[in-house]
Amino acid sequence: MKKEDVLKTLHEISMDPFPYLESKREKGFKIIGSPLADVPSELIHAAGLMPVTILGTNRPIVKAGGHLPDNACSLSRSNLELVLNYQPRSFDGFVFPQVCDTTQHLSDIWKMTISSEFFASFLIPRQVDRPSARHWFYAETRRLKEQLEAYTGNPFGREALEESFSLYNEARRLLRKIYGIKRKNPAALSNRQLFDLIRAFCYMDPRDLIPMLETMTENLPKEKAEDENVRVVLSGIVVEPSQLLDILDELGVSIVGDDLTVGTRMIAYDVPEAEDPLEALTARHFDKSPFSPIRDVGTRLYDHLLGLFETTGADGIIFFHIKFCESQDYDLPDLKHIMRERRIPMIVLDTEYQSVTKAQTKTRLEAFIESLYGERENG
Amino acid sequence: MGETKQMTAKELSKRLTKTYYEGAKHAHEQGKFIAYTTAVSPAELFYAHDVIPIYPENHSVMMITHRMTAELSESIERKGYTSHLCAYARSDLGFRELHKSPIGGIPDPDFLLACNAQCFTLTKWFEVLSRRYDAPLFVFDTPQFIRDKKAREEIIKYVMEQIYEMIEALERLTGKKFDFDRLREVIEYSRQASILYKKYLDLASYKPSPISIFDALINMAITVYLRGTPDAVEFYRLLIDETMENKVKKGIGVIPNEKYRLYWENLPIWFKFRDHFNLLASYGAVILTSLYVHAWSYDFDPSDPVRTLAENYASVFSNVELEERAEMALDLFKRYSLNGNLMFLNRSCKAVSFAVHELRDIITKKTGVPALVFESDMGDPRFYSESQIRTRIEAYLETLDQLSYDRERGLRD
């Protein structure tokens, strides 16, 4: 496969993974979907199942509105819509994480409206800084493992887990390498292409993805290249719709870092080696960068983004706010204040999966990027 | 004590509230610590450790009933907060901007505890306060109390471990050793107050009912912020005696000609509940109860203090799975002979509102009682459409009338 073919294939999967998932199903895999939020895919994979992170749909909301009010976040409504309406037969089961009010109650709605062979809640600790959080994550991971085993009828142990850990770690390593190449040489691949790869990682078996990523890394230019573009850090949970990344490409922007959940947070944290594989998954969970719905230590949520901005030498920050994400709604006023005080240019974009304000968003982005170019010229 | 015996429950409630807020106001002068906490949280730990728990939610209710929320909210909307956040949070953050309050405000916190059994919003709201006052925030994490025996045991273990962590945090804050005997004593007061409070709520099962949900809502405040003290026990004893004496024994109902005994889903529309009471009464209808007022009907066992706190606070109605929540509501339908169902979809409260359509389906199917689902906000009049809600409630009551007419004539099951 050539590099161009890999990019094309992964772009297609990133936009519509269901033909790929159907082919996995034909090979005997059961498809297990999880809404976004820290479900350990490795565990599901080690059970011999096909884990998929559900990343919503950009198609119109038709049925979800009858179950979730319009002040539920765009991510939850579009996830429900995807599974209820557009892909009702594409999943065999679900592992459903709960991190906020919306995910907790969506879990109830999901169970009642979507039939599946398997449903497990994954109750993530919503605090990270006390020993109890680790004990709970471990206990919950063990409970999930037992549920998966009961579903498949096949107990699995250290060997299967370590194989899945190393496959996912390898896919993440390659993605980080590609991100690094892009950072050194932004023209090596577009912003959109980079994030297409990360989305594909959410959807694919690493056994299928790794050879493609190897092709990519072998064929991307390794040398450092001068970059005239303005450099930005992306912040938030997801960039939706993905076409927003195309706009960044059109405007001559280089992404040099991000704290996105579907982004660096997805690929930066490998499962370490440990005596006990579940302990290894636990350790990885607590290595992760902050996630808005989870109470972190002090002001780490903001400090992490400030650190990223400084270490990448970025010119500005683009924050993607998901419409009606309450978590981000509470974080943003203080975040804006901090950035203003430090004179760090930041724009907050209100985004929605079924975006109707694309033209307006584009205009705002254009103005922001122009101002970054302006600041650079004025030193 | 002799003096309080002659007081009415209303007078006693007023006095207790005044004393409580006065005490809080002067806490810092007396070297006492102030902890902000959430309405459903192990506040017994604070009373046992001589730390004064303050409930910003209660304070927000006062601001809402004094119709201050729109102004307060606008003040923080100008700071970048959106108008679709919880009206309690908006009122509170607005109070901190404008320093306006019907009781002269509440003192600043030394410590914050957010229990997410109620909702997750409180954590985010308290995070804002924690940054503002540079005060530590302890998230008391209660995973959804799913119906799986093994999972429940694990959840209780996790919650108990956090209670010990919380005790350590309190010891660090105050420099004082925690006293478990004192905790047992406080929980015993909570146990008694909770039993009496529940007994009071259950007076609504009499026909006609001597109390409506509005009485429950007014009298709920004492158990929210004074459970764990002998004052709360005394108050509910007096309240029950009084209601038995003045209403039940005389067969006097809270409204004349009681015809429809209604369930209310969600928190109340605080600034409208008197209007709703009058509108409903004109149709012979009265709201008797909701799961919300029962959120403080705890069942404590002081002999195992840490476990009993964990079990009670993790299992509140807003933290169980929907089927179980529906069963809790159905139990109220049965025990209180309810024959109407008003389901309020509260824009302020995602936690309690989001699965309301599914909840309606279960309750309607099991009871055969039609339900009215309507949307508004518990605290912000800008999201309350008077004519629309009035029309819908009236139409609903007319439906109940038609149903009862048909049933009396055997035209329906």
- How does residue B5 score in pLDDT terms, banded at 50, 70 and 90? low
Contact B342, B273 (CB under 8 A): no
pLDDT computed for residue A379 by the predictor:
65
**Continuous segment of H or E residues that includes residue B184:** helix B180-202
A295: nearest CB among B82, B123, B146: B123
Please identify among residues 253-292 of chain A the ones whose CB lies closer than 8 Å to any CB of chain B: none
Measured between alpha carbons, how far is B406 from B399 in angstroms, rounded to an integer? 11
Measured between alpha carbons, how far is B383 from A318 in angstroms, rounded to an integer? 32
A290: CB partners within 8 A, 6+ apart: A259, A296, A300, A301, A304
DSSP B60-95: HHHHHHTT-HHHHHHHHHTTT--TTS-HHHHHHHHH
Q: Does B229 fall in a domain? A: yes
The pairing of beta strand A50-54 with beta strand A31-35: parallel
In the block, residue with structure tokens 């990360």: A198
The DSSP bridge partners found for residue A348 are A319
**Continuous segment of H or E residues that includes residue B190:** helix B180-202
| Range list of H helices, chain A | 3-15, 18-26, 41-46, 74-81, 101-113, 131-152, 158-184, 191-203, 206-219, 243-250, 264-267, 277-287, 300-312, 326-341, 358-377
Dump pLDDT digits (tens) for B32-41.
999 999 999 9
Distance, CA of A225 to chain centre: 28
pLDDT computed for residue A356 by the predictor:
61
CA dihedral sign, ordered B130, B136, B140, B143: positive
Measured between alpha carbons, how far is B346 from A180 in angstroms, rounded to an integer? 47
Mean pLDDT for all residues in chain A: 95
pTM, to two decimals: 0.96
B350: nearest CB among A111, A127, A326: A326
Dump pLDDT digits (tens) for A107-130.
999 999 999 999 999 999 999 999
pLDDT computed for residue A222 by the predictor:
84
| Range list of H helices, A27-100 | 41-46, 74-81
Sheet holding B52-54, edge to edge: B52-54, B34-37, B111-115, B137-140
Q: Kindly report the nearest CA distance between residue B97 and chain A, in angstroms.
A: 14
Q: Does B413 fall in a domain? A: no
Measured between alpha carbons, how far is B132 from B137 in angstroms, rounded to an integer? 11
> Helices B386-408 and B273-281, interaxial angle, to 10°?
30
Nearest one of B51, B136, B146 to A295, comparing CA atoms: B136
Its domain, for residue B264, covers 2-408
pLDDT computed for residue A160 by the predictor:
98
Dump pLDDT digits (tens) for A81-109.
999 999 999 999 999 999 999 999 999 99
| Whether residue A241 has a cis bond before it, omega within 30° of 0 | yes
| Whether residue A211 has a cis bond before it, omega within 30° of 0 | no
Query: What is the percentage of chain B residues whose pLDDT exceeds 90?
Result: 94
Region label for B43, one of left (φ > 0), alpha (ψ between -120 and 50) or beta (otherwise) = alpha
In the block, residue with structure tokens 């996995």: A24
Q: Is the pLDDT of residue B4 over 70?
A: no
pLDDT computed for residue A119 by the predictor:
98
In the block, residue with structure tokens 């809600």: B389
Dump pLDDT digits (tens) for B291-346.
999 999 999 999 999 999 999 999 999 999 999 999 999 999 999 999 999 999 99
A362: CB partners within 8 A, 6+ apart: A247
Q: Does B93 fall in a domain? A: yes
Q: Kindly report the nearest CA distance between residue A357 and chain B, in angstroms.
A: 19
Q: Does B377 fall in a domain? A: yes
Report chain A's C-alpha Rg in angstroms.
20
A100: CB partners within 8 A, 6+ apart: A293, A326, A327, B120
Q: Does B91 fall in a domain? A: yes
When pLDDT is averaged across residues B235-244 and rounded to a whole number, the result is 98
Q: Which residues of B touch A293 (CB under 8 A)?
A: 120
Q: Does B156 fall in a domain? A: yes
Q: Does B355 fall in a domain? A: yes
Dump pLDDT digits (tens) for A148-207.
999 999 999 999 999 999 999 999 999 999 999 999 999 999 999 999 999 999 999 999
Please identify among residues 123-162 of chain B the ones whose CB lies closer than 8 Å to any CB of chain A: 123-125, 127-128, 131, 137, 139, 141, 143-144, 146, 150-151, 154-155, 157-158, 161-162
Q: Does B153 fall in a domain? A: yes
Dump pLDDT digits (tens) for A34-78.
999 999 999 999 999 999 999 999 999 999 999 999 999 999 999
- How does residue A357 score in pLDDT terms, banded at 50, 70 and 90? low
Measured between alpha carbons, how far is B344 from B326 in angstroms, rounded to an integer? 15
A126 contacts B139? CB cut-off 8 A: yes
A101: nearest CB among B322, B345, B350: B350
Q: Is the pLDDT of residue B3 over 80?
A: no
Dump pLDDT digits (tens) for A249-294.
999 999 999 999 999 999 999 999 999 999 999 999 999 999 999 9
Structurally, how many domains does chain B consist of? 1
- How does residue A224 score in pLDDT terms, banded at 50, 70 and 90? confident
